[in-house]
């Protein structure tokens, strides 16, 4: 599973780099976005979804965007920790179910948030980058938690 997650992150980064060397234009993601949401997402084509994120992603180059990104990530993982601790210590469920809830609390931001941001004419490039960053951080946390939680 980690290999697949790593492969999908590699797709995001590769498509982003192809965009940076002008193989893709800045608006190419609109075409890919239409394909992803109308054709491939119902079929769960992860490659096309990750390619769209790579096309939309842009590393923040000014202080305001970096500050916003830091706030989003800080708040997201603060609440992830609160939800995970609450789930682990308060839910009256089996340990395996509680582990699943804890791991889900650290899941990356979804691609739908990037699409929603774009449709509201927000900063879709920053949203795409936040998806990539939360995917890397989330997968790291999820892997560590899965290894250390005392589940049979």
Residue 64 confidence class, pLDDT cut points 50, 70, 90: confident
Q: Is the pLDDT of residue 138 over 70?
A: yes
Residue 109 near residue 134, CB atoms below 8 Å: yes
**Separation of alpha carbons 21 and 18, rounded Å:** 5
Looking at the whole model, is its pTM more than 0.75? no
What residues make up the domain containing 31?
A: 2-148
User: Is residue 23 very low, low, confident or very high in pLDDT (cuts 50, 70, 90)?
Assistant: confident
- Alpha carbon distance 132, 141 (integer Å): 14
The count of structural domains within the chain is 1
DSSP calls for 38-83: IIIGGGT-HHHHHHHHHHH-----SHHHHHHHHHHHHHHHHHHHHH
Q: How far is the C-alpha of 67 from the C-alpha of 114, rounded, in Å? A: 18
The pLDDT confidence band at residue 126, using thresholds 50, 70 and 90, is confident
The mean pLDDT of 70-83, rounded to a whole number, is 90
pLDDT-derived band at 79 (thresholds 50, 70, 90) equals very high
Based on its alpha-carbon atoms, the radius of gyration of the chain, rounded to whole angstroms, reads 17
């Amino acid at each position: 599973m980690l290999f697949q997650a790593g492969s999908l992150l590699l797709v995001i980064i590769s498509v982003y780099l192809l965009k940076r060397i002008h193989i893709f234009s800045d608006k190419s993601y609109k075409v890919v976005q239409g394909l992803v949401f109308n054709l491939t997402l119902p079929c769960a084509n992860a490659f096309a979804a990750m390619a769209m994120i790579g096309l939309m992603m842009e590393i923040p180059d000014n202080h305001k965007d970096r500050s916003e990104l830091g706030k989003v990530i800080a708040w997201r993982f603060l609440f992830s920790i609160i939800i995970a601790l609450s789930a682990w210590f308060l839910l009256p469920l089996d340990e395996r179910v509680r582990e699943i809830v804890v791991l889900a609390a650290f899941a990356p931001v979804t691609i739908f948030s990037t699409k929603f941001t774009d449709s509201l004419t927000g900063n879709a490039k920053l949203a795409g980058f936040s998806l990539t960053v939360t995917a890397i951080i989330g997968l790291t946390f999820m892997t560590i938690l899965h290894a250390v939680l005392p589940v049979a």
